[in-house]
Structure formats: C-alpha cells, structure tokens
Amino acid sequence: MELTAPIRELKGVGEKTEGLLQNMGVYTVGDILLHFPRDYVKYPHATEINELYDGAQAAVIVRVEKPAVMRRTRAMTITVLKSECGGAKLEAIWFRLPYIANGLKKGKTMILYGKVMDKNGTFHMEQPALFAPEDYAAIEETLQPVYGLTRGITNRFLIKAIRNALNACDSFFDWLPMDVREKYELAEYNYALDQIHFPDSMETLTWARRRLVFDEFFLFLMTMQLQKNGEEKQINPHHFEETSKVETYIKKLPYALTGAQRRTLDEILRDMQGEVLMQRLIQGDVGSGKTIVAFLAMLYASDNGYQSAIMAPTEVLAKQHEQSFVELCERFGIEKTIVLLTGSMTAKQKREARTRIAAHRDALIIGTHALIQEAVEYENLALVITDEQHRFGVRQREAFANKGQTPHILVMSATPIPRTLAIILYGDMDISVMDEVPATRLPIKNCVVGEDYRPKANAFLEKEIAAGHQVYIICPLVEASENYDANNVSDYTEKLKASLSPVVRIACLHGKMKAAEKNQIMEDFKDHKIDVLVSTTVIEVGVNVPNATVMMIENADRFGLAQLHQLRGRVGRGSAQSYCIMMNSSDSDRAKERLEILNHSNDGFYIASEDLKLRGPGDFFGIRQSGDMSFMIADIYTDAKVLQNASDEVKRILAEDPKLQMEKHENLRIKMKEIFEKGDVTLSL
C-alpha cells in the first residue's frame, strides 16, 4: 500500500471513521504513521482489591457479582461498578461512557487499570481502562502507546489502525545521509517509526525518539537555511525621519518604560532607518510590555506616512489590541486611522475594512489570518508585526510580508528561550530580549500543592470570586481519555459546578470548539459574565483580563515549565494581588524539584534555563513546551543537545554541498524538493 493512499483504504476505516481521523489531521496512510504517541503506559502486574493502596496507579482484578448501575443526571450519564475482595471494597466510576456497562455483565472477570483513591475506607477509580483478562495478559509489563484522540476515536482503534498501516505500507526511504547517522548513532528511519509506536523497551524507544527528533530539527533548519541562501539582504525602500514624536508619546504614557523596553524600541527604530529591511525578533517574558513597544513602532511608521499591520493569533486578542490602540491615541491627543480585520466579520464589514486600508496610506491595521487573504490590498505597507510567532507558519509570514511593498518584519514571542537556542532557531533574525517586567506589577504569589489541599483551594477560589475577581483553571485534556490519568475540561467543569456555590458562574473552553464559540466565551470572561473559566492551554495566547487574580493548574507536573510560566502570565495583569496554584499529581521527586523552580521564581528566562538543566533523557513525556514552533515530537528544552547537533550538520553539509548535488545527498535532495513543493515554493536544487 502506498503511503499517499487515502486513509479510507486502510483496513477497518469506514466513511464515518475517515471523517473523524481527518478532524485529527490524518488524511493518508502515511499521516497516521506520523501521528505519534503523546505518552506511554507500562501496565503493571494485576492485583486483587485487598492489595490496593491510596494513590497507586494499578491494575486490579474485578469479578462482577452485580451488574454496573447507570445514573443519569441532566449533564451526563454516570456508570458505577461496586466490587469486594477480602473485605476491601472498590467503586469504579465512568463519566459519559454509558456503553462501558456492556462489558460488565454479572459473572464476568475483568481487569481495571487506573489511579486508586481511598475515600473513607472505600477504594475509588475514576475512568479506569477496562480489559478482558486475556487482552491484559498480552500487554502486561509492556510499554503501550497513548495517543491524542478526538471524540469517537479510541486509543485501541488507533493502535490497531497503526499496526495495520505498518504491516501494509511500503517503507519510507531513509533520506538522512549515512555519515550523519553513523556520527550520532541514529536509528534507521523505518525502525525508528516502528519503535516510536510499539517500543520493545525504554532503550529502543529512547533511540527511536532521538532519531525522529533529530529529523524534525534538521529538516526545519535545512529548510530555513536553503530559503535564506536563496535570498539576499533586501535594501530598505522606505524613508524614516528622526524620532522626536515618539519621545513625546513616551512622555505621555502613564508609566515609565523599562530599560529593556527602551533598548528594544531604540533597536527597532534604528533598524527602520537602516539600509536594509528589518528582520527582528522581540523575545519578551510574559508581562514585559511588548505590545506598547510594537504600538510605538506602528505610530512611528504612521507619522512617516506609512501603513503598518499587526497580526494576532486570536480574534479576541486582535480586538483587544484595537481597543488599547484607540485609547492610547486618545491619551496622546492624536488622530490615527485604526482598522480591524478578522475572519468573523460580516462580508460588508470586511469590504469596509479593505476600503479603509486601501484609502489610508498611514493606517494602523490590526487583524488575524484575515490580513493575508488575497482580497486585502495594502497601500504603502512598511511594517509588519506578527504576535506570538510560533502560531504562524513560515508560508503565512511570507504571504503577509509580500503584501504591498516589501515591509520591515518584527516578530514578538513570549516564549522564554535561552539565547543559545534562540540564535539557532531564529538564525535569520536579529534578536531583542526584553527581560524586565514593569515595576507597577505585583509579583504573583505561587504555591505547589497536592490533592489534599483541594478543599482549601476551592474555598480560596470562592473567597476571590466573592471579592469580585475571576479565576482560570487549566486541565491537560478536553475530555476523559482511556489510559491517560489526568483531569479533563468536560468532567472537571461539571464537578466544579457541584462543589462551588450555585451563584458562581462557570464556563469551559477548549480547542475543539468552533472559533466563534471560543471567541464568545473569551469575550464573556473579559466582560465578567463568567467567574471561573475551566480551559485547556488554549488560553495561553489569550485575552488580557486584569480582573483575573487566580490561575489554578491541574496536573501541573504534566506541563513544561515554560508553558506553566506562560499560563501563569494570564493573571497578575491588574492592580490586585494575583496567585498561581499548581496542583501536583505526581509522587516523583523530579516533578517536585521542577515545580519548585516555578514556585520560587517569576523570571521566565531563569525558569527556562533551569528547566533545561533538570531535563534528562527520559523526561520527554507529558512535559512538552508550548511555543516550540509546532514540532510534532521534538522539544527545544529536552532536546537542546540534539538541536545543536542538527544545526552543526546543516551548516557542514551546505558548506560542503550548497545545492545538495553530491551522490551521498541524493535522498536528502529528493526530501527537500518534496518539502518545498508541498509548500508551493520552487527550490532550485
């Protein structure tokens, strides 16, 4: 079977399943092989109920004496199975899985796998995975993959489908030159692909992952370098005068710029006046004030008769930029044309926005991906700013940059990457680091706590809400997942509604919602129509809500420290004291050590560097960072050494063979041409 064959051709995939897989980005047989596990479970030896203990991740033998009972509430169906052994009692509970009762008929023996909690002398397991004894025996003491899922697709189905694909498919050709593989002792590609899904041991899994991580970094850097080699530094066609007006604006701000803001702004203005076009990255910690620097640069462009545009990753953030820009212009006593363009606008609103863009040669333009649509024509565009660069692909940035005249490019990122790694990843850009937070901001108070703190945590939430403040709660999952023990947004929201006062307004948010629904929820939270927002990490790059004072992160040990730091940055934006409560669900000493770094520091760059020191070769499950340029499996912190090695090899190969014409690079040349053709970019190799 060809790797390019539609996923429907794979055995066991019907029309309905094909649609669900396409929602996960799986369209071909090759795609499903590149849908890598997000975690692995090593199933322990199955025990009896009377051998369980509180907090254990256990497999327990259950003999069904009485059929499972189903309870229906307004919000969900709850299935409960009660069992006993040797005087010990177990209660297993499943939320929103009514079909589970079909496998729990009287007289059957089953194996349940999940986390055990002791509640008043009775053991409880919530959402345990369910196995027939013979099925469990086949996987006991083995590493089994856990995949990212969507509703209607189970982990077991994906395991079966991927096994079928591996057995039915032609092999991938190994494009990595043999001398590189030998130098770094990297696995053969097809072996790595097999072992990443179904590892024989932790050693073979680590070996397989290292090869696939190397591939991601290598191809990213090779693509970037080949693009860069095909371009020359572009002459700056724009003429910018001196900056006295900018100094006037700065004096009218209600606060003083930090030294880092001042230094970064000076670098930007100097670039805009220079001989070549600016390509600059602002790497600013959460709350360091990047937006005001961007706005002052846009005003500078406008004062010199040029258009500027800023592209935000969400509509809510774009609208917030517009609101703050209008307010600042009023404070400065100036009249500027500010145009907003987003995808959710009506056709008439979009036409009006496009007309204003075409008519005003000095407009400040704000929007989302809608700004790079073909229908938008710019007039005199000299500055393009992309907010949160990792949310956009290279192709989108190129399309935006090619609108109108060739503009200066400014990229803003809140991801605190150590400078050595940033130079590799953003090798085609100058870098400004904003490592100071405005003095007016109160430091966030942090605490790392266990499950026993939950009653106090809930009481604290109610106290903050009663004081008129708002709360974020973050869960790792959208909905319950078999084999993956972590809080999910769907069930957590219902439980929270049951445990907090009825007057508390609670809503949930996650990435599977439609854009309009997500935007509405964020707008409602911003307008204080919601007190508690239960969300996945989708709120990382979100709206500014100064009234939110508490960030509670469930299963905090599952996240990377840089990601936790960015989540924490959603609070602490107003004048009131803010708090971050990190719920640690792990007994691991390493997890505690990592979280304590965050507990004792609010400095993102320090946190990132310390996280880098603590990472070991086995620390690559459940701790992926955000803002890592959308790598599927690689992590710039865990895999910093591999990133350096890949960078060294890209430089060496291109120095030796700039157009990849040597025989030993033939497969690599084919791979790179394939990558560029997929992006509709012709590359002469």
pLDDT in tens, 68-127: 999 888 778 899 999 999 899 999 999 888 888 888 888 999 999 999 999 989 999 999
Confidence of residue 625 (pLDDT cuts 50, 70, 90): very low
My answer on whether 629 and 645 are in the same domain is no
Answer whether residue 628 shows pLDDT above 50.
no
pLDDT reported for residue 151: 79
Would residue 56 count as lying in a domain?
yes
CATH number at residue 588: 3.40.50.300
Q: Could you tell me if 533 and 453 lie in one domain?
A: yes
In order, the DSSP letters of 29-70 are HHHHHT---SEEEEPPPPB-GGG--TT-EEEEEEE-SS--EE
How many whole angstroms separate alpha carbon 156 and alpha carbon 133? Answer: 16
| Confidence category of residue 388, pLDDT binned at 50, 70, 90 | low
Higher pLDDT, residue 494 or 404: 494
The predicted pLDDT at position 510 comes to 86
Q: Are residues 487 and 613 in the same domain?
A: yes
257 with 401, same domain: the answer is yes
Are 630 and 666 found together in one domain?
Answer: no
Domain-located, residue 215: no
Percent of the residues in the chain that have a pLDDT greater than 70, as a whole number: 91
Average pLDDT over residues 621-638: 62
C-alpha pair distances (Å), 511 with each of 158, 421, 519, 540, 551 = 21, 29, 11, 11, 19
Cα distances (Å, whole numbers) of residue 403 to 155, 308, 347, 369? 44, 11, 21, 13
Q: Which of 286, 518, 310, 547 is nearest to 408 (CA)?
A: 310
Q: What pLDDT score does 422 carry?
A: 80
* pLDDT score at 620: 47
List, for residues 438-495, the tens digit of each pLDDT value: 776 788 999 999 888 889 999 999 999 999 999 999 998 776 555 556 778 888 999 8
What value does the mean pLDDT take over residues 518-533? Answer: 91
In the predicted structure, residue 626 carries a pLDDT above the cut 80: no
What mean pLDDT do residues 529-551 have? Answer: 86
Which of the two residues, 630 and 675, has the higher pLDDT score? 675
Q: Which two tokens stand for residue 594?
A: 């990592």
- Looking at the fold, whether 475 and 496 belong to one and the same domain comes out as yes
How far is CA 250 from its chain centroid?
34
Predicted pLDDT of residue 405: 65
Residue 395 binned pLDDT confidence (cut-offs 50, 70, 90): low
Would you state the structure tokens that stand for residue 299, as one six-digit string? Answer: 């005003």
Q: Which of 293, 306, 285 is nearest to 253 (CA)?
A: 293
Q: What is d(CA 71, CA 447) in angstroms, rounded to the nearest whole number? A: 37
Is 12 inside a domain boundary?
A: yes
For residue 627, what pLDDT band results from cuts at 50, 70 and 90? very low
Question: 569: how many CB neighbours lie within 10 A of its CB?
Answer: 21
Q: Who has greater pLDDT, 566 or 459?
A: 459
Q: How close are the terminal C-alpha atoms of the chain, in Å?
A: 29
Question: Both 262 and 164 in a single domain?
Answer: no
Taking each continuous run of H as one helix and of E as one strand, the counts in the chain are 22, 23
Give the C-alpha separation, 342 to 336, whole Å. 20
Pairing of β 77-85 and β 88-95: antiparallel
SS3 388: coil
Domain assignment present for residue 561? The answer is yes
Asked if 125 and 92 touch (Cβ cutoff 8 Å), the reply is yes
At 621, is the pLDDT very low, low, confident or very high (cuts 50, 70, 90)?
A: very low
Task: Examine the domain organization and report whether 399 and 296 are in the same domain.
Answer: yes
pLDDT at 668 over 90: yes
Tell me the H-state helices in 315-372: 315-332, 347-359
Q: Where does the pLDDT of residue 624 fall: very low under 50, low under 70, confident under 90, or very high at 90 and above? A: very low
193 within some domain: no
Same domain membership, residue 453 and residue 386? no
Domain count within the chain: 5
pLDDT at residue 98, rounded to an integer: 85
Any domain includes 223? no
Instruction: Report how far apart, in Å, the C-alpha atoms of 579 and of each of 274, 464, 599, 600 are.
Output: 44, 10, 11, 13
Neighbours of 443 (CB within 10 A): 11
* CATH number of residue 99's parent domain: 2.40.50.140
- The answer to whether residue 190 sits within a structural domain is no
Average pLDDT on 568-587 reads 89
Please give the helix or strand (H or E) that residue 434 lies within, else none.
strand 430-434
Q: What is the pLDDT of residue 258?
A: 92
CA 205, CA 42: separation in Å to the nearest integer? 13
Quick check: is 394 in a domain?
Answer: yes
Percentage above 90 pLDDT, the chain: 50
The yes-or-no verdict on residue 339 having pLDDT over 70 is yes
Measured distance CA(638)–CA(217) in Å, rounded: 13
Pairing of strands 381-387, 307-311: parallel
Residue 509 and residue 535 in contact, taking contact as beta carbons nearer than 8 Å: yes
Nearest 5 degrees, angle CA 223-CA 433-CA 538? 70
Query: Residue 236: is its pLDDT beyond 80?
Result: yes
Q: What average pLDDT does range 280-288 have in this prediction? A: 83
| Mean per-residue pLDDT of the chain | 87
Within a 10 A sphere around the Cβ of 408, how many other Cβ atoms? 27
Task: Give the C-alpha separation, 586 to 37, whole Å.
Answer: 20
Same domain, 425 and 472: no
Distance of CA 409 to the CA centre of its chain: 24
Banded pLDDT at 392 (limits 50, 70, 90) = very low
Helix (H) / strand (E) element for 494: namely helix 489-499
Which DSSP category does 440 fall into? Answer: T
Query: How far apart, in whole angstroms, are the C-alpha atoms of residue 152 and residue 526?
Result: 33
Length of the chain: 685
Residues 6 and 133 in one domain: no
Is the pLDDT at 637 greater than 90? The verdict is: no
Same domain for 36 and 84, yes or no, is: no
Q: Are 44 and 58 in contact (CB under 8 A)?
A: yes
pLDDT band at 133 (very low <50, low <70, confident <90, very high): very high
CB 584 within 8 A of CB 446: no
Q: How far apart are CA 340 and CA 338, in angstroms?
A: 7
For the segment 152-174, the average pLDDT, to the nearest whole number, is 90
**Type of residue found at 655:** A
Q: Which two tokens stand for residue 590?
A: 């390493």
Helix 589-599 vs helix 604-614: angle between axes, to the nearest 10 degrees? 160
Amino acid at residue number 221: L
More confident residue, 263 or 393: 263
Give residue 525's domain range. Answer: 445-634
The CATH number of residue 31's host domain is 1.10.150
